[in-house]
Chain A
Amino acid sequence: MAKKPEKKIIVVGGGLSGLMATLKICEAGSKVDLFSYCPVKRSHSLCAQGGINACMDTKGEHDSIYEHFDDTVYGGDFLADQLAVKGMVEAAPKLIKMFDRMGVPFTRTAEGVLDLRNFGGQKNKRTVFAGSTTGQQLLYALDEQVRRWEVKGGVKKYEFWEFIKIIRNKQGVCRGIVAQNMNSNEIVSFPADAVILATGGPGQVYGRCTASTICNGSAVSAVYQQGAELGNPEFLQIHPTAIPGTDKNRLMSEACRGEGGRIWVWRKNPETGEKERWYFLEDMYPAYGNLVPRDVASRAIYKVVVHMGLGMHNPNRVYLDLSHIPADYLERKLGGILEMYGDFMGEDPRKVPMEIFPSIHYSMGGIWVDRMHHTNIPGLLASGECDYQYHGANRLGANSLLSATYSGTVSGPEALRVACSSEAGDALTQEEMEKARKECVDEFDKIRNMNGSVNAHQLHHKLGDVMYKYVSVERDNNGLKQCMVELNEILKEWNDIGVTDHGTWANQEAMFVRQLRNMIIYAMAITKSALLRDESRGAHAKIVLDTDYPDMDPELKERIEKKVGKFHFDPETHRAMDEKGDLVFMERDDKKFMRTTIVSFNQETEQPEVSYREFEHSLIKPRLRNYAVAKKE
């Protein structure tokens, strides 16, 4: 076999996906320049707690890959590309074996094989896990393997380097990036044969979320502003069980529910009037109980707390209860996160119920990619949370580690294929690289010398407040319109930022200001696409307004009426409410919106432009999603 020519691929982001892609490229004999904000061992993948889904079928439940496929598509409310999902679920068991060989300390049964646990949105035990720190263990395994390749000379790591933008050659192919050393603040252009972005989610757009401080979506927004299309950015998963905090909302794994945790609030029994614990998820969704998917659980908690006013103790909290489960069992299955709750809240969840509330958690949307993870910019690939693939309108728990890893196994070899083909076009010239670098240097110098009156971190806080207010669990068109107005104001305010640090050594403030602008622009893409998607699907739940209702498709109107009975519009909020006082949501509109939202950036107006694109959904016929009854094939 002829030796393949040695190519250089730039991978931006050192989470599961970036590392997986890196390994694949190294194994094929090429080189990788790996860029990351932080030592790759500290990437956000390690915050994943519960596990990774793969059909191992070792629990006598006759689990099948098809079942996994169906659960994922159904859970994603039929907005995921089904061929892509099929590829992922088929590869899952192989990936688990690979991780096992690499030394991931998965939790095992007494006879030494991988244990499986339940997870939301699936009736079979399908989640492989390493205690309650699965993401950490998987990330470390890949980190170790990449370190091995670093020693062998396949990988050069650029840690503490921030990606600023891509550089395209004459043919418009992405052939390099500009990045900045976060310590010396030096800005450098790097050429490559292809570029993979694996930069994770945009959680920081919401300020307080379960994501790390590094998950700001800045890189995604940067390439979006350079012409990359976004797919489905309006779909952001809200995790039902997070510990609210002022610096961040800390995730309390879905594994708590998987291992038998129950969610409840105090209420007066409607019949007897006695004070009792109301296990409302079990009440509302008898088939799945506490194991309903995240979007369903979040909305239920919202309903109970915000609309019924049953949040206890603190206004915005419900209980997640593990105290009925034996302590040694908890220690073995959930030890790490229970300890975390103790560290941050000062109470022992083995004895008292935990206080939790929904929080922004994961972005199903991201850069639009095809099934081989190409973006619409040639030579630029995206994988991991930063792409839009696999999860549709809602992600099932424990599918994220899978999609991150799997997408790396696709994007890595594909990047190499492109690099070796004629698609790559010409290499960048010195002038092209220098020009791009100069632009970034000028921009940074401008930011460094900003002397306005606004503090960037306060503006970030404001951005988060606006997004939480209008674009979270429940959305309505009035709010989303208002949100666009406020985001445009925030973007204007950005120009009036003043920095106190004008230096060029580890100037975190100036780098943050640059990221903040990207975050605001990404927030606008989220909001605009949410505004235009007039339906409820997965994580995107839209309340019917009196202004929306007249123009609605008669079929959808009928479905709403059948579901909620009589309803009226609140004169003040214009929102539809049924006779019990519950909000009325729009129905899923497959005729109009069984399409991928495509958002592109208009360079002149700096506004997002939304269009829709067909995707592959021929394998499983869409059916309505209802977790109150067991799934029917």
Chain B
Amino acid sequence: MAEQKTVRFIIERQDGPDAKPYTQEFDVPYRPGLNVVAALMEIQKNPVTVDGKKVAPVVWECNCLEKVCGACMMVINGKARQACCSLVDKLDQPIHLAPARTFPVIRDLLIDRSVMFESLKRIQGWVEVDGTWEVKDAPIQNPYTAQTAYEISHCMTCGCCLEACPNVGPQSDFIGPAPTVQAYLFNLHPLGKFDAPKRLNALMEKGGITSCGNSQNCVEVCPKKIKLTTYLAQLNRDVNKQALKNIFNH
């Protein structure tokens, strides 16, 4: 029998938030359609390095494996992406895995992205409905606007854009493209737009949209192909108008 084809993974590991990172190498049996999460699952089943050392299985986060939950974002061969839809066939080998260090590392590939959810609070990412009770019919919406909203609403808070953005990280207070653009989503809604000035003002604060440096990495790496830069430009326009209103309407 021919020897089974394997795929080499070089994984950057770290035992805790303050521990020193180190790398370990694993060989995973190849099969067609293998993706990075499936490979990590194989390592769980047989956590032995190429040197034959039995180690603790690699720790990472994943849920849906369908590219909708956003949990399994990591740096694969230098680029931030979802591990579940990273097919081994389309990656250069050996495959390097590393945590997205824009965020605090908890362990191995597991990171703490709570800052993104905090940012969603900051931009008031919701429609101020009176309650879940029945009020009346919701307003009719322009189907084209609704389609734009649908596109932006695909954002799964995975953090790829934050990891790739040179202006996001411990050195800066920028909230990042994803939460910023979410503000636009709510400004589009016929009820949500009532609070548009609040959201635009929130974006004017420190770490808001002004921290965008137009490197446009976000739109390149977005796994949902959201036209982030277009909406950032639109928000820039809206924010400028809001600034003029702030100056002249008071």
Answer whether A and B touch in the complex at a CB cut-off of 8 Å: yes
* Interfacial residues, chain A to chain B (CB-CB below 8 A): 20, 23-24, 27, 38-39, 41-44, 46-47, 94, 97-98, 100-113, 130-131, 133, 136-137, 140, 144-145, 147-148, 150-151, 159, 183, 212-214, 245-248, 250-251, 332, 336, 340, 343-346, 409, 455, 457-458, 461, 500-501, 503, 505-506, 508-509
Q: Determine which residue in B45, B85, B138 has the highest number of CB atoms from chain A within 10 A of its CB, and name it.
A: B138
The answer to whether B142 touches A112 (Cβ under 8 A) is yes
CA distance A28 to B70 in the complex (A): 32
Render B24-51 as a binary contact track against A, CB cut-off 8 A, 1 for contact.
Answer: 0000000101110110010011110000
In the bound complex, residues from chain B placing their C-beta under 8 Å from that of A251 are: 66
The answer to whether B65 touches A212 (Cβ under 8 A) is yes
The answer to whether B113 touches A500 (Cβ under 8 A) is no
- Chain A residue nearest in CB terms to B16: A505
Question: Known contacts A151-B121, A455-B46: does B33 contact A47 (CB below 8 Å)?
Answer: no
The answer to whether B127 touches A101 (Cβ under 8 A) is yes
The answer to whether A147 touches B120 (Cβ under 8 A) is yes
In the bound complex, residues from chain B placing their C-beta under 8 Å from that of A159 are: 114
The answer to whether A100 touches B138 (Cβ under 8 A) is yes
The answer to whether A41 touches B66 (Cβ under 8 A) is no
- Could you tell me the dominant secondary structure of chain B's interface residues? loop
Contact of B137 among A97, A214, A336 (CB under 8 A): A97
The answer to whether A112 touches B143 (Cβ under 8 A) is yes
CA distance A630 to B146 in the complex (A): 36
CA distance A159 to B116 in the complex (A): 14
Question: Is there a chain A Cβ closer than 8 Å to B67's Cβ?
Answer: yes
Question: Known contacts A39-B113, A455-B46, A457-B44: does B66 contact A250 (CB below 8 Å)?
Answer: yes
In the bound complex, residues from chain A placing their C-beta under 8 Å from that of B31 are: 246
CA distance A130 to B149 in the complex (A): 11
* Residues 116-164 (chain B) with a chain A CB within 8 angstroms: 117, 120-121, 125-129, 131-138, 140-143, 146-147, 149-150, 153-154, 156-157
- Chain A residue nearest in CB terms to B125: A144
Contact of B33 among A41, A100, A345 (CB under 8 A): A345
The answer to whether A183 touches B106 (Cβ under 8 A) is yes
CA distance A113 to B16 in the complex (A): 51
The answer to whether B150 touches A98 (Cβ under 8 A) is no
Question: Known contacts A107-B146, A344-B33: does B106 contact A147 (CB below 8 Å)?
Answer: no
The answer to whether B37 touches A346 (Cβ under 8 A) is no
The answer to whether B63 touches A213 (Cβ under 8 A) is yes
In the bound complex, residues from chain B placing their C-beta under 8 Å from that of A212 are: 63-65, 69
The answer to whether B38 touches A247 (Cβ under 8 A) is yes
The answer to whether B45 touches A343 (Cβ under 8 A) is no
CA distance A140 to B125 in the complex (A): 10
Question: Known contacts A245-B38, A500-B47, A500-B54: does B68 contact A38 (CB below 8 Å)?
Answer: no
A243 CB to nearest chain B CB (Å): 10
In the bound complex, residues from chain B placing their C-beta under 8 Å from that of A461 are: 45
Q: A47-B68, A107-B150, A344-B35 are in contact. List 12 more A-B contacts (CB 8 A).
A: A20-B132, A27-B132, A27-B133, A42-B71, A98-B132, A102-B126, A150-B121, A183-B110, A340-B66, A500-B54, A509-B56, A509-B57
Q: Determine which residue in A101, A213, A458, A509 has the highest number of CB atoms from chain B within 10 A of its CB, and name it.
A: A101
Q: Determine which residue in B16, B84, B142 has the highest number of CB atoms from chain A within 10 A of its CB, and name it.
A: B84
A22 CB to nearest chain B CB (Å): 10
CA distance A336 to B35 in the complex (A): 19
The answer to whether B45 touches A46 (Cβ under 8 A) is no
* Residues 151-188 (chain B) with a chain A CB within 8 angstroms: 153-154, 156-157, 185-186
The answer to whether B57 touches A42 (Cβ under 8 A) is no
Contact of A102 among B59, B110, B129, B143 (CB under 8 A): B129
In the bound complex, residues from chain A placing their C-beta under 8 Å from that of B117 are: 39, 41, 147
A301 CB to nearest chain B CB (Å): 21
- Chain B residue nearest in CB terms to A508: B59
Question: Is there a chain A Cβ closer than 8 Å to B207's Cβ?
Answer: no
Contact of B55 among A43, A213, A344, A500 (CB under 8 A): A500
In the bound complex, residues from chain B placing their C-beta under 8 Å from that of A94 are: 134
The answer to whether A145 touches B140 (Cβ under 8 A) is no
Question: Known contacts A94-B134, A344-B35: does B146 contact A103 (CB below 8 Å)?
Answer: no
In the bound complex, residues from chain A placing their C-beta under 8 Å from that of B90 are: 346
B81 CB to nearest chain A CB (Å): 11
- Chain B residue nearest in CB terms to A332: B147
Question: Known contacts A144-B126, A343-B85: does B153 contact A46 (CB below 8 Å)?
Answer: no
The answer to whether A458 touches B45 (Cβ under 8 A) is yes
List, sorted by A's number, 6 A–B pairs whose CB atoms are closer than 8 Å: A46-B156, A103-B149, A105-B147, A133-B68, A147-B120, A457-B57
In the bound complex, residues from chain A placing their C-beta under 8 Å from that of B66 are: 47, 248, 250-251, 340
In the bound complex, residues from chain B placing their C-beta under 8 Å from that of A24 are: 132
A501 CB to nearest chain B CB (Å): 4
B139 CB to nearest chain A CB (Å): 8
In the bound complex, residues from chain A placing their C-beta under 8 Å from that of B62 are: 213
The answer to whether A101 touches B129 (Cβ under 8 A) is yes
A48 CB to nearest chain B CB (Å): 10
- Chain B residue nearest in CB terms to A145: B126
Q: Determine which residue in B34, B64, B129, B150 has the highest number of CB atoms from chain A within 10 A of its CB, and name it.
A: B64
Question: Known contacts A46-B64, A105-B149, A213-B65: does B154 contact A133 (CB below 8 Å)?
Answer: yes
Question: Is there a chain A Cβ closer than 8 Å to B238's Cβ?
Answer: no
The answer to whether B154 touches A42 (Cβ under 8 A) is no
Contact of A109 among B125, B136, B143, B149 (CB under 8 A): B143
A13 CB to nearest chain B CB (Å): 13
Render B53-92 as a binary contact track against A, CB cut-off 8 A, 1 for contact.
Answer: 0111101011111111111000000000000110101100
In the bound complex, residues from chain A placing their C-beta under 8 Å from that of B87 are: 344, 346
CA distance A103 to B87 in the complex (A): 34
The answer to whether A340 touches B45 (Cβ under 8 A) is no
In the bound complex, residues from chain B placing their C-beta under 8 Å from that of A246 are: 31, 33-34, 38
Question: Is there a chain A Cβ closer than 8 Å to B197's Cβ?
Answer: no
The answer to whether B65 touches A103 (Cβ under 8 A) is no
The answer to whether A505 touches B15 (Cβ under 8 A) is yes
Contact of B63 among A27, A38, A506 (CB under 8 A): A38
Question: Is there a chain A Cβ closer than 8 Å to B199's Cβ?
Answer: no
The answer to whether A97 touches B47 (Cβ under 8 A) is no
The answer to whether B69 touches A506 (Cβ under 8 A) is no
CA distance A131 to B151 in the complex (A): 10
CA distance A106 to B48 in the complex (A): 48
CA distance A106 to B139 in the complex (A): 12
Please name the 6 residue pairs, one residue from A and one from B, whose CB atoms are nearest each other, closest first: A100-B138, A501-B56, A247-B38, A144-B126, A105-B150, A112-B140
Question: Is there a chain A Cβ closer than 8 Å to B191's Cβ?
Answer: yes
B171 CB to nearest chain A CB (Å): 25
CA distance A130 to B135 in the complex (A): 22
The answer to whether A112 touches B141 (Cβ under 8 A) is yes
The answer to whether A44 touches B132 (Cβ under 8 A) is no
In the bound complex, residues from chain A placing their C-beta under 8 Å from that of B33 are: 245-246, 344-345
In the bound complex, residues from chain A placing their C-beta under 8 Å from that of B146 are: 105-108, 112
In the bound complex, residues from chain A placing their C-beta under 8 Å from that of B8 are: none
CA distance A346 to B35 in the complex (A): 12
Question: Known contacts A111-B140, A137-B153: does B106 contact A103 (CB below 8 Å)?
Answer: no
In the bound complex, residues from chain A placing their C-beta under 8 Å from that of B16 are: 505
The answer to whether B121 touches A147 (Cβ under 8 A) is yes
The answer to whether A46 touches B132 (Cβ under 8 A) is no
The answer to whether A38 touches B132 (Cβ under 8 A) is no
- Chain A residue nearest in CB terms to B113: A39
CA distance A198 to B106 in the complex (A): 27
In the bound complex, residues from chain A placing their C-beta under 8 Å from that of B157 are: 39, 41-42
A181 CB to nearest chain B CB (Å): 11
Question: Known contacts A46-B68, A97-B134: does B186 contact A103 (CB below 8 Å)?
Answer: yes
CA distance A131 to B84 in the complex (A): 22
- Chain B residue nearest in CB terms to A214: B63
CA distance A111 to B142 in the complex (A): 7
In the bound complex, residues from chain B placing their C-beta under 8 Å from that of A131 are: 150
In the bound complex, residues from chain B placing their C-beta under 8 Å from that of A147 are: 117, 120-121, 125-126
Render B206-228 as a binary contact track against A, CB cut-off 8 A, 1 for contact.
Answer: 00000000000000000000000
